[in-house]
Each structure stands twice: as C-alpha cells, then as structure tokens.
Amino acid sequence: MRVIDSHLHLWDSGVLEYSWLSGPLDFRFAETELDHARLPGATAEKAVFVQAETDEEHFLGEVRWVSEMADRIGVVGIVAGMRLDRGVDTITHLDELSAHPLVVGVRHNLQGESDGLAVSTAFVTGAREVAARGWTFDACIRASQLPEVARLAGAIPELRMVLDHLGKPAVGTAGAPRLPSVEWVRDLDELARHPEVFCKLSGLPAEAGGDWSREQLEPFLDVAADAFGEDRLMWGSDWPVSVIGPAEVGDPHAPTDGSVTYQPNARTRWWETVVAWAEARGHDVDALLWANAERFYGLDGPRTDATVEEQPRTRRGLRGWLRGE
C-alpha cells in the first residue's frame, strides 16, 4: 500500500525559531524521530512538508532546511510559510520561493487571524499571485472561518486550495464524543461546492487532545466524503502535532504525573483508522492515500485537468439526518 502523507511537519528549535512550541512538542522532530514513526507495511512512503509556523523571519530558512534533507526522508513537496497580505513584500517572497523546486504551495496560517482577513483586498491579491504561479494554498482555519474561506474560493476560482484538518470541527474525546454540528456540516458543504477545493483527512486526533477512537471520528470522515467525494480527499498525519495526548498503554516512558506525552504509535493508528474506514465504505483507498495528493500538489508532473468535475452523490444517513432530510 503506497502512501503520500499530505500533511507532515518537521522542526528543530536548534536550527530555527518557533515561538509557539511548548510542552511535549518543544522537542526536535526531524529525520531520526520520523524514522521511528514510519508506517509499517507501506510499500512506498512519501510526504508533503507543511510549514511548521517557524517565526516569520525564518520562512525561507525553513524551506532551505527541509530541502536539504528531503531526499533522505522522502519529502517530495513543500508548502512554504508566508504572509499573503503584504503587497509588494508578498510578491517578493513568492519570487524568492520560486528558486526552490520542491515548493508546490504556500500556507498563510489563518486560524489565529482576525475575521475578514482572508477576503481582504490585500490577501486576495496575494492569493491571486499564488494561483498565477500554479501553486496551491493550504487553508488552516477554525470551523467558524469556513464561510470566509468559501468566499475566498469564490473570489479566485482558479486557486487550488486544500482545507487542512477538515476545518477543525469540535469532535469531543473518546469518552465524551460529539456529533458533527449542523453548522459545520452546512459550511463544509458550501466550501465543497467550489471544485478546486480539496480536503485533508488530518488533524482530528489533535482536536480530540489525543484521546480519540475510530467510532468517535468516523462520522466526521463520512461528512467530508459526502461533501467532497473520494476524488478530493487526501490522508495526512499532522505529525507530530496529532500524536500528543494521554500515554499509550504499555508506554515505559509515560509521565508519572499523568500529563500528556508523545504517542509513538499514533501516526500509524490514524493511518490504519482512515484505511479501515475507507475500505468499509468502499472508497478508493489508493486515491485517498496517494493519487489525490499527487494530483493536487502536482507531484505527478504538469497538471492538465483545469477543474475537478462535480459529480452527483448519494447522501449518507448521518448527513441526511443532520440536514433534516
């Protein structure tokens, strides 16, 4: 089974600066650590590195750092960090990124930004420059920002955009699960109406604080599949952000105070969960694990299809119930 991890992070605070790192994440996660988190049984394993929110002055340095180790760890594409609302400085940054052949897209992390930024004149202008270069945009947002990103997609229909982490819906925990909210279902559906927008099956373990179960998260995967179809979904591990939580059973290094810690098997567990869900639903597993990410990020050569055709789909029972159908 071949795998392209569409959402892999790496960082080393000894090389670059990350103001946000704390707790178990304030550690080096690079070549050696990734080697210990490889997916057992994968016949081929590649990855798209997504910017890890290094401090802004190190955005280009992060691209250079990852590029240097890319061949050794299987990184075949880089989604670079940047600000899209800086006018001339945004264009200059994009020009500088053009010198790095592994760059396939950019991410201006929107989840902590003020309302309205993604549809501001400055941001839309910058996003149009991204589209003009044939690059992609990763939208990392909170669920409440879904309508705004849908407006961005409508303003720039040619921009290939992917929603990170299903828009970070509230999922609860394994012991206190939550069903998909009506608002999130509605807003995800509206975003999915834009045919150049894809969605990553990633990040839900982190939204559960690392305390999750397959049964808890499958309803969210069902809603995403209903909205986007199997041709616009891609698996991502969100490693190492999504592997922090309660200690796994039998972990000899578990903190004695019961605090959250690194979960050595969580990346594999999330992969196996999505595979089992996809197989049970009859989805194309290879598309979700490889082909869709390859096509979206242009990893298979020049992209020839201008848009993804929207196909009518049968709505699943859960989604129909949420919509009152």
More confident call, 31 vs 310: 31
Q: Do residues 77 and 299 touch, judged by C-beta distance below 8 A?
A: yes
- Helices and strands, counts by H and E, the chain: 12, 10
Q: What is the pLDDT of residue 300?
A: 82
pLDDT tens digits for 136-178?
Answer: 999 999 999 999 999 999 999 999 999 999 999 999 999 999 9
Residue 130's identity, in one-letter code, is V
Calculate mean pLDDT across residues 69-85: 98
Share of the chain above pLDDT 90, in %: 92
pLDDT at 117 over 90: yes
| Integer Cα distance of 191 and 204 in angstroms | 19
From 199, 221, 209, select the one nearest 278 (Cα to Cα): 221
pLDDT tens digits for 254-304?
Answer: 999 999 999 999 999 999 999 999 999 999 999 999 999 999 999 986 433
Share of the chain above pLDDT 70, in %: 92
| Integer Cα distance of 202 and 50 in angstroms | 12
For residue 76, what are the CA distances in angstroms to 68, 69, 177, 307? 12, 11, 36, 23
pLDDT at 315 over 70: no
The Cβ-side half-sphere exposure at 115, using a 13 Å CA radius, reads: 5
| Integer Cα distance of 222 and 282 in angstroms | 12
